Amino acid sequence: MALVTLLCRCGGYFVFSRISPSPRLRMALAHMPGCIFAAYVVPALLTGPAHNWAGAAATLAAMAIFRNLGLSIAAGVAATWIASLA
Amino acid sequence: MTTTIVFTGAALRRGMWRALPLVAGLSPFGFVTGLITERHGLTLLDCMLMNGLVYAGASQLVALANWTHPAPILAAAFAAFVVNMRFALMGPALAPWLAGLSVGKRYAALSILVDHPWALSVTDMRKGGRDVALFVGLSIPLWFGWLISTTVGFLCASTLDLPPHHPLFFGALAAFIALLVPLWRGLSDALPWAVAGIIAILVAQILPHTSWYIVAGALSGCLAGALRDGRRG
């Protein structure tokens, strides 16, 4: 895992310093981060416990408002906790 | 290159100072990652090595979700590749600054690249900043902070003995969900993300207990986005 991740970090830089991706490739790749996260999050929410949805909503709201990762995670966990008690 | 990149002690210290809230923010995620690592039967040494060397919580959690003993090297490497692929694009974005470091230091700096220091550095760079020490100052404390919080989480796991669906574990998922917000570029992202999510669900049904659904979802989403962009432009 370490090797692959290291290769991602360094290899990507190395490759892009040598080649110039076409504008279309660049645009396609620009979708990647959001799509990866979406692909991970959606199934996780669907297969997880119901109280996670409350957490998801709280996390999104907190992040949209405060733009603070730590705070948003805390808000999400708190909301999940409260929902799990209901 | 018209601008010379510098490396100053002042920027290094400024970076380290600004890294402190990042460390505080990431620590809960680190704690949960350490916790989850222990619950999957890895040893303390495994945990410290994974977090020190891989240093990419999101991919570690994905790999752990389908962990087996002996370690699933191919599956884990794949998870690392898919989830951490974004680093391959983030590095080049910082190229102007990295050019100011010697080759050895440049790749050393790249080896601890993660989202927040990168985002802050790119922002500074776009505003005309030329001091790569900021990136280094931001990155190093975060690495240490991560190693510490994951180790603490690991050590607390057996004392806490939480049931599998405990709300605290949501912290890991929350990190991903939260990171979706800055990634959102507007309504045009709705289609690719929806496609990614739907394909991911389908593939997860067809191939359970593997991480293929992430690759499938991500690639489908990208394809959908690219096709739609092509039709517009």
- pLDDT tens, position by position, B108-147: 887 788 877 887 888 788 788 888 899 999 989 999 999 9
The count of other CB atoms within 10 Å of the CB of residue B209 is 9
Prediction ipTM score? 0.82
Nearest by CB to B173, from A11, A41, A70: name it. A41
- Contact A55/B169 with Cβ under 8 angstroms? no
Q: Give tens-digit pLDDT for B5-52.
A: 889 999 999 999 988 877 877 787 888 888 888 888 888 888 888 888
Predicted local confidence at residue B1, as pLDDT: 47
Which strand (E) or helix (H) includes residue A49? none
B6: which strand partners?
B131
Average pLDDT taken over every residue of chain B: 83
Distances in Å between the Cα of A17 and the Cα atoms of A10, A11, B207 are 11, 10, 37
The C-alpha of B12 sits at a distance from chain A's nearest C-alpha, in angstroms, of 22
The C-alpha of A84 sits at a distance from chain B's nearest C-alpha, in angstroms, of 7
Q: Give tens-digit pLDDT for A8-43.
A: 666 656 665 666 667 777 777 778 778 888 888 999
Q: Which range is least confidently modeled, A5-19, B49-63, B140-154, B210-224?
A: A5-19
* Per-residue b or e along B21-45, where b marks 16 or more CB atoms closer than 10 Å to that residue's CB: ebbebbbbbbbbbbbbbbbbebeee
Q: Which range is least confidently modeled, A53-62, A69-78, B43-52, B58-67?
A: B58-67
Nearest by CB to A6, from B111, B116, B196: name it. B111
